[in-house]
Amino acid sequence: MSDSDPTTLRAAGLSKTYGRGSGAVEALRDVSLTLGAGRSLVLLGRSGSGKSTLLNLLGAMDTPSSGAIEVEGRDLAGLSPGEQTLFRRRRLGFVFQSFHLIPSLDVLHNAAVPWMLDGAFDAGARESLAGLLGRLGLAGKLDRYPDELSGGQRQRVAIARALARSPALVLADEPTGNLDKRTGEQILDVLDELRRERRFAMVLATHDDAAAARCDERLVLEDGAAIENSTLVRAAGAAVA
Amino acid sequence: MSGSGGSGSGLFGLARRLVLGDARRHPAAMLLTVFGIALGSAVVVGIDAAVAACLSGFERAVTDLAGESQHRVVARGGGLSDDDFIGLRLAEPELSLTPIIDRRALVDGVRVRFVGVDIFTYRSLESIENLGDQIEDGAYERWQTEPGTLLVVEPLAASLGVGAGDAVTVTGSLGDREAEIVATIGLAPPANASVTDLVVADIATAQELLGIPGTLDRIEARFESDAERAALVAALPETLELATTESAAARLEELIAAYRMNLLALSMMAAFVAVFIVYNASLVGVQRRRDSIAALRAVGASPGQIARVYLAEAAAVGLVGGAIGLLCGRVLAELMVGFIAGTINDLYGGVTPTSLALGWLAIGKGMSVAVGSALLGAAIPILAASRVPPVHAMSGTITAHRSRRWVSALGVAGVASLAVSLVVWLLTERSILAGYAIAATAWLGFALATPALVGLVARAAGVLGRGRLPLLLAASDLRRALGIGGIAASAMMLAMGMNIAIASTVGSFRGTVLDWLDSRYQADLYVAPEVAIDHGIPAALTAGARSAIESELASSGGDVLYYRNTQGEVFDAGSTRPVVLTVTDLEASESGGLIPLAAPLVGGGLEPGGQVYVSQPLARKIGVAPGDLVRMPSPTGVVEARVRGVFHDFVADRGAVLMDFALYRDRWADDRVDAAHVTFEAGTDLAAARASWAAGIGTEHELAIQDHAELRSETRRIFDRTFRITDVLLWLSGLVAIAGLAGALLALAVSRRQEFAVLSAVGAGAGDLAWRLAAEAVLLGAAAVLISIVAGTTLAEILAKVIQVRSFGWTINTSPQPLAWAAAAGFALVGSALAIVMPLRVLSRTRPAEALRHE
Amino acid sequence: MSRWVCFVLILAVSLARAQSGLTNEDGYLLADEPRAWDFPRDFGRHDGFSIEWWYLTGNVAAEDGREFGFQITFFRSELTPRVGERPDASGWRTDELYFAHAAISDLGGETFWHDERSSRGHPRLASASDETMDVRLLDWSLRLEGDTLVMRAGGGDHAIDLRARMTREPMLQGPGGLNSKGGDVGQASYYYSLTRLETSGTLTIGGEAVRVRGSAWMDQEFSSNQLADNQRGWDWFCIQLADGRDVMAYQLRTDDGSEAYRFASVRDPGGTVRYLSPEQIAFRPGSAWRSPDTGAAYPQSWTIEIEGLPGLNVRSRMVGQELTGGSASDIAYFEGATEILDPEGRRIGVGYVEMTGYDRSIADEF
């Protein structure tokens, strides 16, 4: 990977405190990171170490108590709630451990939700989405409903939904957590392949060492603080160079 | 399915797919929602259509019977003469005026309504206007010009056994005269069913046969404009005055006001049921779709988009429900028409409902109720859910977080509303509008305060339930989830409270009427012509019957009190108002069962020629008290009589005047009686006496003989039939209670899936869950029943002491109606039992692991 | 409106039955032979006939030159044949029905007013003398004072208040006043006209009283059955020519639109009256005006050819002179002021036209 890749994600000094006064809990403390287009970052840490909090902040679903996040050079703090919503819809993709598919929509339309919210699910979008679903091995299952699919298939649908609008950044929260090992690996293979092809940045939270080993960068959290952060080392190196 | 088709690329497509997908996944829940909406709109549409059909039928019957003419000229003192008419006609030749003779006469011994008309100016009776078409050439002209020629309606001809060309005897004030029937006439429906005793003669013939040449009963006027009315009033000599009677429609409104109120309550209740069922279904739906909403939020759906998608879904479901509702409403209307018409027939006679039709207005109304209730019911849960920040949505906690605060706020508002109601009650006296305001604010107050009251009940139960886990848990669950349980309780309370209120009002009304009946009618036997009792045809006791009664009493010992009941009018601020004239021996009646409300005038003796009693409704309507004068048109001019007292009466809601035979015979020139109330000496064997009277003079003189018990049961029968419609209310309210409980518990259960999962994981079995749910259902139901008994009894008190008094003028003594309370409790119990089934199924199907994962 | 209904009903039954015989089977008298006339008695009512009318039409002008037409008609119908006296304990006892129409055509203002009255016969409400012309119906009346007809009718803000002085002897419309309407015995009426009535008085139009003078024409006619079943209606003309000749002409139309019967009479200034037979008369209607109220199409010009007279072009002075009761069962007819032109288009006289049976047949009624 080249250092000249444009930076997709830059976070500086992120902290998040829940509650106030003596009952306050510091879920995240002064975390910074940076990630280039097409690169992947694994987020490691035990339960409660702050992984989910960080993902929520990066995904514009929650706002940091202090610090700043830039995606493709835009400061998320400067966005109104409505703009954040649009930003999520058009520039971010989410993949969750428990899929979060809409049970009353079939495969094609689950994946098409980000398009449909914009009223833009036209023939072109349909064609490219069908192609993507085909790549994900769902070619014959476009009219199935989530409860008719296996876990791996569900997660593939979720991936298709996350990638539907060609996001700049994909946030994946334990995407293989509910899958058996073999299926999990297949999912990760597909994600890697598509990432390289489409050059989106990806942040992957996981406990799975095999999954972690695939990633370009590592960020390890403990009690809300980064105890290992390869992205900054690289960034520092780049600055020195 | 997913294939081609360009439609649905946007938000609407998303909504459409969500609805269809949801219907596929949860058909039962969707059906419940559609059912609720359809029920609401069906009842609204059905009642509307049925009432409209009955009312228009009734209006037509009344119009045919009474004529459209609403203006009549009567004489101030002394009878009306031909000269009075001629003078007016010449003075105002451009006005529509017609002379009328309208009185009772005997034709071949049968009492009939004998009407004399000048067919050239007569235009009131639509059904008579085309007489010429019905009658053979020649007969019509003979009827107009030849003395002694009559037209009779077909039913009368049939019962007299005569036809065209037959001779009959007309008995008028100068004795018997020979007359000839020149033709029988068929009236247009529905008058043909109700007008069964009409004889029509030319006005000259009528004067001659009845022996009243030169005399008219009234002049009817029809005005095209106010200027015409003013012209007539200006032309009236001192001796005449213009009386404007209420239109038939207005009279009808008054007659069935009570009925309308019941039906209105029913409609509103139905719409309310619909809103509530949808509210519940939406609550459950939102809980259930938490995943979908969270996912939508995460992938970038704005709160507005989510709200629009799900509200569009609600509207679509509303449309489907509405369409089904219209069909069901049509069927319901068919059923109700018979129901309503039957009641009106019982009370007022002859109604043929016009054909049922669902007009655009009814369709619009039904669809508005359907879509409106769907949107209303869905709005609150959906709006709340759509606003939850995505991060909370992801973590799966969509419940009303601030429920405690608004429950207290609502409680305060409820108490304030109750206070307003009380203040209005204390400050106003006559206004009907204020009466409705009192009822509405009281009702609103209870509805608003119910969630807070349920909280209090739950707290009390928690205190009582120390140590008993299911009760403790149920109480605390209920208090934590007042947002769902409180609203459900409020809905149940409204439904059951309404039912208790109406049942109490009707029950108290019935009790009051029967008490009144017992004290007013204390005689042992009631004797009247059979034809009057069996067929409702006014008929007098013949002289033979009267002397038979008297000679029978002379031998057996006892008293008889005669009655005459007829139609009359009283003046009320320039117009006249129809009333029932009851004539009897006032002195005997005062010592008997007459119940004066206000103290009779003291001193001055009875003055039978000049004093009358007026019924309580009439006194209220025309605003008279003992000592005031009432003025009544009579055949011998206007009678002015002093009000001696006011009496309780439930027979004539239009009002009744009770007068002495002396006054009536003198001024109404009528000495007939149509009922005899017989009281035997103490110690007489009543059953034996009744049997011997029935077999003896009853058979001989074609008299109906009833004893007190029969009179009472007949009254009770009519009463119960009148209010049978309230049974529908009972069942509807039961439905609301059950739906309310089931929906609320389901919503509570779904929202607490994790908690149950935890319990299940730590080893609680399905039985434990059932106990806890049952405890919660019983607690919720009990709270709702308790509050509804208080609220319903309060409302009943308002209906009896405010609404009834202000709109009908009679007071009702209220009494507690434990039966209605028990019914409410019963419904709550059945509701509780049914209500735990569905939640239990939902919970038992939830795998603990899956539910726990959301923690 | 329903007065009209009654009227139609009554006429329908009372007149349709009057078919044949010197007195017909219902007992009404028939016009079957020339009559010995006795005025002023014959200005009065004639008992025993089923229908009788006094019909006044005229053309008048105000001093400022404004022109008007007017009509007053009183009808008397016997519901059953009058035979002797009946006991009348009731003052309402009667066998008569009266009704009346009046109309004013404001020819300059192009407005048409009409009204009606009706009542059963009654000494104080509606009556006609059998001694002279004295017909009263509520507030309307027509009576003879010396040689002058005094008439009064009105309603709302319109009124007719005129005096019309006789200048010529009554003109009998047929030998002995017997006016045949066809071939059958008794299918005829007794009929005379008063022409060239010197008329003056006041017309009130929309509240404005206008002094007028001019010339009027009166017909009195009584009969028991005039029209045959297939006779649909009639076109009737009265014409007062400037040269002093009085002309009355009518045709009875049949159901198929062809003319069934024609009659005309011409009185020259010397007083000689000629009666013309059908083949001596021809009527040619011109273009029609269609009533927006009834849909009836009334010709607005006629060419009348009568042997011995120049061709008469009769033109309605104004469309819209139609009397209607407004109800489907009512009779509608056109009663309008006319002017008479010679073939060169010069006005040579004035008159009135009456056209009936254009909306539907009225044979049942007459």
Number of residues written out for chain B: 855
Tell me if chain B has a CB within 8 Å of the CB of C242: no
Which of A86, A120, A121 is opposite residue B300, by nearest beta carbon?
A86
A81 CA: distance to closest CA in chain B (Å)? 9
* Interface residues of chain B, partner chain A, Cβ below 8 Å: 1-3, 6, 8-11, 13-14, 17-22, 24-25, 289, 291-292, 294-302, 305, 389-391, 394, 853
Tokens of C285: 């209607």
A/B interface, count of CB pairs below 8 Å = 117
Tokens of A4: 């000249």
State pLDDT tens for residues C133-176: 999 999 999 999 999 999 999 988 999 999 999 999 999 999 99
A102–B394: do the CB atoms touch at under 8 Å? no
Question: Chain B contacts of C5, Cβ < 8 Å?
Answer: 129
A6-20 pLDDT, tens per residue? 788 999 999 998 877
Kindly determine whether residue A96 and residue B298, on different chains, have CB atoms separated by under 8 Å: yes
Its ipTM equals 0.88
Could you tell me the CA-to-CA distances from C344 to B146, B767, C239, C303, C341 in Å, in that order?
60, 117, 18, 13, 7
Spell out which residues of chain B touch residue C141, defining contact as CB-CB under 8 Å. none
- Whole-angstrom Cα distance, residue A234 to residue A229? 9
- Size (chain C), residues: 366
Count, residues in chain A: 241
Q: What is the pLDDT of residue A1?
A: 44
B9: nearest CB among A82, A106, A119: A119
Residue identified by tokens 């294939």 is B3
How high is the pLDDT of residue A157?
A: 92
Rounded to a whole number of angstroms, the distance from the CA of C80 to the nearest CA of chain B is 6
**Least CA distance to B94: which residue of chain C?**
C155
Q: Do C138 and B90 touch (CB under 8 A)?
A: yes
Phi then psi for residue A65, to 5 deg, are -70, -35
Cβ proximity of B673 and B565 under 8 Å: no
Taking the CA of residue C138 and the nearest CA in chain B, the distance in Å comes to: 6
Tell me the nearest-neighbour CA distance from A99 into chain B, angstroms.
Answer: 9
CB contact under 8 Å between A120 and B9, yes or no, is yes
Report the chain C residue with the minimal C-alpha distance to residue B135.
C13
Q: Which of B141, B207, B222 to mutate to test the interface with C (most CBs of C within 10 A)?
A: B141
Residue of C nearest to B136 (CA): C13
Q: For chain B (length 855 residues), average pLDDT per consecutive 10?
A: 45 77 73 77 77 63 48 71 92 89 82 84 52 71 89 89 91 82 77 71 92 86 84 87 59 53 64 67 68 76 84 86 88 75 56 64 82 81 73 49 69 92 87 83 88 86 71 74 76 81 80 75 81 58 86 84 84 80 82 55 50 85 86 84 82 79 85 85 83 83 82 74 67 71 71 64 64 79 88 86 73 79 83 72 60 45
pLDDT at C207 over 50: yes
Q: Do chains A and B touch (3 or more CB pairs under 8 A)?
A: yes
Q: C293-335: per-residue pLDDT in tens? A: 888 899 999 999 999 998 899 999 999 999 886 433 367 899 9
Question: B769 vs B273, B756, B765, B837, CA distance in Å?
Answer: 29, 8, 7, 11
The pTM score is 0.52
Q: Report whether C111 contacts C208 (CB < 8 A).
A: no
Mutate to test the interface with B, among C9, C86, C92, C329 (most CBs of B within 10 A): C92
Which of B90, B120, B210 to mutate to test binding with chain C, by most C CBs within 10 Å of its CB?
B120
Q: How confident is the model at residue A86 (pLDDT cuts 50, 70, 90)?
A: confident
Instruction: Find the chain B residues whose C-beta atoms sit closer than 8 A to any C-beta of C.
Output: 82, 86, 89-90, 93-94, 99, 118-121, 123, 129, 132-133, 137-138, 140-142, 144-147, 202-208, 213-214
Q: Is the pLDDT of residue A227 over 80?
A: yes
Nearest to B707 by CA among B526, B541, B534, B557: B526
pLDDT score recorded for residue C154:
94
Q: Does C37 touch chain B (CB under 8 A)?
A: no
Between CA B493 and CA B449 the distance in angstroms is: 11
C118 touches chain B (CB under 8 A): yes
Considering only CB atoms, which chain B residues are within 8 Å of C86? 147
Residue owning tokens 């969270």: B294
> CB–CB of A121 and B25 under 8 A?
no
Question: Over the stretch C260-281, which tens digit does the pLDDT of each residue have?
Answer: 789 999 999 999 999 999 899 9
Asked if the Cβ–Cβ distance from B292 to A103 is below 8 Å, we say yes
Contact A104 B11 (CB under 8 A): no
- Residue whose token pair is 């704005």: B302
Which chain A residues have a beta carbon less than 8 Å from that of B853?
98
Whole-number Å distance between alpha carbons of B65 and B535: 18
Please name the residue ranges forming H helices in chain C. Answer: 2-16
Instruction: Pick B207's closest partner by Cβ from C26, C92, C120.
Output: C92
Is there a contact between B14 and A62 if contact means CB atoms under 8 Å apart?
no
- Residues from chain B contacting residue A87 (CB–CB below 8 Å): 300
pLDDT at A83 over 60: yes
Q: Which of A89-93, C78-82, C269-273, C321-325 has the highest mean pLDDT?
A: C269-273
Distance from B665 to chain C by nearest Cα, in Å?
26
Q: Taking CB atoms and an 8 Å cutoff, what residues of chain B touch C94?
A: 145, 204
pLDDT in tens, C13-70: 333 333 333 566 678 888 888 999 999 999 999 999 989 999 999 999 999 999 999 9
Residues of B in contact with A175 (CB under 8 A): none
Cα C295 to Cα B376: distance, rounded to the nearest angstrom: 56
Residues of B in contact with A115 (CB under 8 A): 9
Write out the two tokens for B102: 């309208």
- CB pair distance less than 8 Å for C13 and B207: no
CA B157-B162-B164 angle, to 5 degrees, is 90
CA-to-CA distance for C246 and C171, rounded, in angstroms?
9
DSSP state string for C83-148 = -S----SSTT--SEEEEEEEEEEETTTTEEEEEEEEEE-BTTTEEE-SSSSEEEETTEEEEEETTE
Show the tokens assigned to B44: 């609204």
pLDDT the model gives residue C83 = 65
Residue B329's pLDDT is 84
In angstroms, the separation between the Cα of residue A239 and the nearest Cα of chain B is 35
B100/B85 Cα distance (integer angstroms): 10
